[in-house]
Amino acid sequence: MNAKAILFDVFGTVVDWRGSLIGELTAFGAGRDIAGDWIALVDRWRGNYVPSMDRVRRGTLPWTRLDDLHRATLDQLVGELGISGLTEADRAHLTRAWHRLHPWPDVVAGLERLKRRHIIGTLSNGNVSLLTNLAKSARLPWDVVIGADLLHHYKPDPEVYRGACALLDLSPAEVMLVAAHNGDLRAARAEGLRTGFVPRPGEYGPHQHQDMTAEAAWDVVATDFGDLAEQLGA
């Protein structure tokens, strides 16, 4: 299990996007006296995550960064949910809420431990600027930030997993992907990467019905990032 690099899925695995966004958007609405079903907005925003990337993956859309997919979905949902009074600056600010998500409580200490003996980095559908701003805000001590805009492919396209290994000049067997999503790990394993599962059963709040447990014999199954560090001897 001596992976030289440990790469992490970010949304859901490292950061609590749902809780963070609900908190920020609710506070925004209250502060600006703008009424809206902010919880529905957040859940539907994320609900369009995979469909919007799939339009890029299938070639319906040309390459588009996640920030821009997020903005297009926000514009659509603001209309559908009848939220009024949002300026252009407000929409830009709310889209950047994805750059200010909070990590799960075990994350920073676990990453600090893993960083001592491994290269640690992102392997995310986020763009590099989003991931870099997020790391500054959440104090994530990455050695390297790999975002989908470096590879012009979204997970689970195999090009993402292969491309990350190529950028690090490592063989797939020297790289572990850690994710809270079995599908991401299946795609990584298909390309020869090692796999680590950490469940995040609160990721989708009361709506979560999937990824409650490991669905395959992943190389490591850990309860949180501290346990992951422990199992990897870090």
Binding-site ranges for its own copies (CB under 8 A): 67, 119, 121, 127-129, 132-133, 135-136, 142-145, 149-150, 167-170
Q: How far is the CB of 209 from its own copies (least distance, A)?
A: 35
**By C-alpha distance, which of 43, 47, 25, 38 is closest to 206?**
43
Residue 87: which residues within 8 A CB-CB, separation 6 or more? none
> Between residues 124 and 127, which has the closer beta carbon with respect to its own copies?
127
> Between residues 143 and 224, which has the closer beta carbon with respect to its own copies?
143
> Between residues 129 and 208, which has the closer beta carbon with respect to its own copies?
129
Distance CA 194, CA 202 (A): 25
Q: How far is the CB of 229 from its own copies (least distance, A)?
A: 17
Q: How far is the CB of 139 from its own copies (least distance, A)?
A: 11
**By C-alpha distance, which of 158, 128, 153 is closest to 142?**
128
> Between residues 4 and 186, which has the closer beta carbon with respect to its own copies?
4
Q: How far is the CB of 144 from its own copies (least distance, A)?
A: 5
Rounded to 5 degrees, what are φ and ψ at 214? -65, 130
The number of helices, as runs of H, and strands, as runs of E, in the chain is 10, 6
Question: Contact 5/120 with Cβ under 8 angstroms?
Answer: yes
